[in-house]
Amino acid sequence: DQTVGAGQWMCWLTADHGAATVPSLAQDAGIPVDYWQPGNLIDDAKADLAATYGEGEWVLNYS
């Protein structure tokens, strides 16, 4: 807010699995793995943002 002004910026997080092993293949090799479910992250992010900044449409989309 101090650099560009309140309400004049946005933030997004992105990631790519890169060359990571497919979890089912790792599991077949005896490596303990699990699939990540975005639901908890999105719900937690919305709750944290609402607690910090008040109710709002903070997460518009995720994929």
* pTM of the model as a whole: 0.44
Give the pLDDT of residue 18: 66
Tokens of 15: 């990631």
**Do 42 and 36 touch, CB atoms closer than 8 A?**
no
The rounded distance, in Å, linking the Cα atoms of 55 and 46 is 9
Task: Say if residues 29 and 9 touch (Cβ distance below 8 Å).
Answer: no
Distances (CA, A) of 9 to 1, 4, 41: 8, 7, 22
Instruction: Give me the tens of pLDDT residue by residue for the chain, a chain 63 residues long.
Output: 888 888 888 887 777 666 677 888 888 999 888 777 777 888 888 999 999 999 998 888 877
